[in-house]
């Protein structure tokens, strides 16, 4: 039986590239899609057929998260790898002397921090039955407290730091169940996280996805440093 991976935010960008990378490596992929009018996953489906299941997924909606988890349970009965990739960057806030948009900040928390927690909780029982037992998350160097350098982007950075704290707690609790938790900085990826495609970024989504997949497939030990970039380099908390 093929190994299984569940990837959120797989519509486009890094999530789509991760889906392709794992499909090309022989995995059964469950791809969470938020935008039903974005057709790239459908094109991938034509190539890989039954190896790709496209799931409607809104990580801010508990019912949507639960339905996706139930589908994976019915289809596979277990899960080897979860990659919490879905995220937003809609930070219209300026520096401390400008106007903050607190609604944007709350949306960052709901998607970037609570979204992964909802999804992880929904499939932890399936991960416990899997063989790889990897709970991976796309974090960011923006989450680092030790290496903080920004003078704005409060909502995004704070939401990713909250995600990292969540992951340390998850690892504390899930260690006894053999589940390894990972937090990845994907690099400055050419993707759509800011809305429009970011041509100024320096890394192709396919390159970042390949690196992340390779690090996951190394099956790192539970006691190894969990906050790394897509090339496996350690990042300071």
Over residues 223-235, the mean pLDDT reads 97
Q: What is the pLDDT of residue 37?
A: 85
Q: Return the domain boundaries, the chain.
A: 4-229
Q: What is the pLDDT of residue 124?
A: 98
* Angle in degrees, CA 94, 158, 144, rounded to 5: 110
Bigger pLDDT: 46 vs 91: 46
Which pTM was predicted?
0.96
180-223: pLDDT as tens digits:
999 999 998 877 666 666 667 779 999 999 999 999 999 999 99
Has residue 27 got a pLDDT over 80?
Answer: yes
Sign, CA dihedral 44-10-201-230, equals negative
Q: What is the pLDDT of residue 1?
A: 80
Short-list 54, 180, 62, CA closest to 121: 62
Has residue 175 got a pLDDT over 80?
Answer: yes
- Give me the chain's average pLDDT, please: 94
Over residues 128-145, the mean pLDDT reads 97
Largest Cα span, the chain = 57
Length in residues, the chain: 237
Has residue 99 got a pLDDT over 90?
Answer: no
Query: Residues of the chain with pLDDT > 70: what percent?
Result: 96
Q: Tell me the angle at which helices 62-76 and 115-129 cross, rounded to the nearest 10 degrees.
A: 20
119-135: pLDDT as tens digits:
999 999 999 999 999 99
Over residues 41-61, the mean pLDDT reads 97
Whether 179 and 127 have beta carbons less than 8 Å apart is answered as yes
Q: What is the pLDDT of residue 98?
A: 87
Whether 2 and 27 have beta carbons less than 8 Å apart is answered as yes
CATH class in words for 4-229: alpha beta
Whether 174 and 135 have beta carbons less than 8 Å apart is answered as yes
Q: What is the pLDDT of residue 222?
A: 96
């Amino acid at each position: 039986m093929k190994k299984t991976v569940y990837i959120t935010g797989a519509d486009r960008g890094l999530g789509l590239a991760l889906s392709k990378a794992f499909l090309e490596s022989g995995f059964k992929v469950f791809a969470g899609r938020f935008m039903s009018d974005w057709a790239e996953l459908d094109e991938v489906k034509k190539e890989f057929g039954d190896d790709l299941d496209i799931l409607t997924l809104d990580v801010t909606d508990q019912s949507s998260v639960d339905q996706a988890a139930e589908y994976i349970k019915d289809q596979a009965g277990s899960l080897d790898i979860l990659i919490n990739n879905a995220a937003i960057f809609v930070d219209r806030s300026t520096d401390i002397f400008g106007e903050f948009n607190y609604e944007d900040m709350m949306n960052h928390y709901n998607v970037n921090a609570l979204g992964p927690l909802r999804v992880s909780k929904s499939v932890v029982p399936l991960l416990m039955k899997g063989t790889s037992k990897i709970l991976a998350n796309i974090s960011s160097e923006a989450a680092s407290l030790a290496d903080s350098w920004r003078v704005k982007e409060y909502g995004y950075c704070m939401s990713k730091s909250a995600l990292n704290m969540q992951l340390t707690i998850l690892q504390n609790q899930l260690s006894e169940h053999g589940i390894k938790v990972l937090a990845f900085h994907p690099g400055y990826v050419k993707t759509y996280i800011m809305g429009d495609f970011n041509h100024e970024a320096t890394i192709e989504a396919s390159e970042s996805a390949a690196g992340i997949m390779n690090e996951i497939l190394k099956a790192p030990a539970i006691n190894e440093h969990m906050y790394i970039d897509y090339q496996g380099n350690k990042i300071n908390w």
